[in-house]
Amino acid sequence: MTHDDEPQHRPQPHGTRHRGDRTAVTAAALLEFARPGSFDGRPATCLDPAVNPGAQLRCFCEAVGTGLLRQPANALSNLAFLVAGATAYRSVRALDPGRPERALARAAALAMIAVGAGSLAYHGGLTFAGQLLDVQGMYLIAVLLLVGSCRRTALAERAPPIALALLAALAVVQWALPDSRRWLFAVVLLPAIVAEARRAPGSPPLRAAVALLTLGYAGWLADERGLWCDPASLLQGHAGWHLATAGSAYLMVRHYRWAAERAATTTSVNATVAT
């Protein structure tokens, strides 16, 4: 084995040294869920008459109530992220600590929990702060996938500060221009998927994750545009989006396991050939 092949000398991508972003989003989201309006008293964009003057105010299809969970189905479906994140975190133990994929898988598991907490805060209280935390959790996943594709490259050492700067910029933009939040997510996520697919081509878990994400987005669109809509039902297209994306994020962790095992096999074969 050469010096470059030793796991302990590999540059580590985002996720190996910084957990503060995911922890901060999760903690803030739990506080916002417990006390809606703790950070910002404004309603979510979808309920703000100043943002939608004269329009019928709705937040996806599900009816907006006045109880602890203003959208029960959309809120409770986020438990899927918490279960997926906890399960994924436990599965990371099987990975070689020297592989960058282990750090990425662990970061992805924590990001899933942040996504679930943020979306629970959003659909639970439908506040502007909950909206910000919901979307910021989504950005965590997308940015992690993007910078994680830089592993084993010269950019790996620069990935953590780049990721933090990008997350900060996205937070500022979605606060100042909330209508940009969804297309910004796509702008980060789609190149990230392509970059990761090129970094680890042929990954069955990544392909399955993309397929499940696509299926979930179809449900999101049907719900958003009223194609599948019964406001009083517990079967909501947006809740289906949560279930699908939680599964997709879990498959992202499985993908990192697959990539780590393939990299280990390649290293072993190269070492055997060299001897």
Domain that holds residue 116: 3-274
**pLDDT above 70: residue 91:** yes
**pLDDT above 70: residue 18:** no
pTM of the model: 0.87
Which residues 6+ apart lie within 8 Å of 225 measured at CB? Answer: none
Query: Do residues 143 and 166 make contact, with C-beta atoms less than 8 angstroms apart?
Result: yes
Distance CA 56, CA 49 (A): 9
Give the distance, in angstroms, between the CA of residue 255 and the centroid of all CA atoms in the same chain.
15
Distance CA 159, CA 257 (A): 20
- State what percent of residues in the chain have pLDDT above 70: 88
Confidence category of residue 58, pLDDT binned at 50, 70, 90 = confident
Distance CA 33, CA 124 (A): 6
What per-residue confidence (pLDDT) applies to 263? 80
Task: Average the pLDDT over 55-72 and give the result.
Answer: 89
* pLDDT tens-place string over residues 27-56: 999 888 888 888 988 999 999 887 776 556
Task: Average the pLDDT over 8-20 and give the result.
Answer: 51
What per-residue confidence (pLDDT) applies to 218? 97
Confidence category of residue 184, pLDDT binned at 50, 70, 90 = very high
Q: How many domains, the chain?
A: 1
**pLDDT above 80: residue 219:** yes
Weakest-pLDDT range from 3-17, 36-50, 146-160, 187-201? 3-17
Closest CA to 62 of 73, 78, 48: 73
Query: Do residues 8 and 143 make contact, with C-beta atoms less than 8 angstroms apart?
Result: no
Task: Average the pLDDT over 110-120 and give the result.
Answer: 97
What mean pLDDT value characterizes the chain? 88
| CATH number of 197's domain | 1.20.1070
Residues across the chain: 275
What per-residue confidence (pLDDT) applies to 6? 40
Closest CA to 144 of 16, 11, 263, 3: 16
Three-state SS at 49: coil
Beta-bridge mates of residue 43: 127
Integer angstrom CA distances of residue 43 from 39, 46, 50: 11, 8, 10
DSSP calls for 111-142: HHHHHHHHHHHHHHH-BHHHHHHHHHHHHHHH
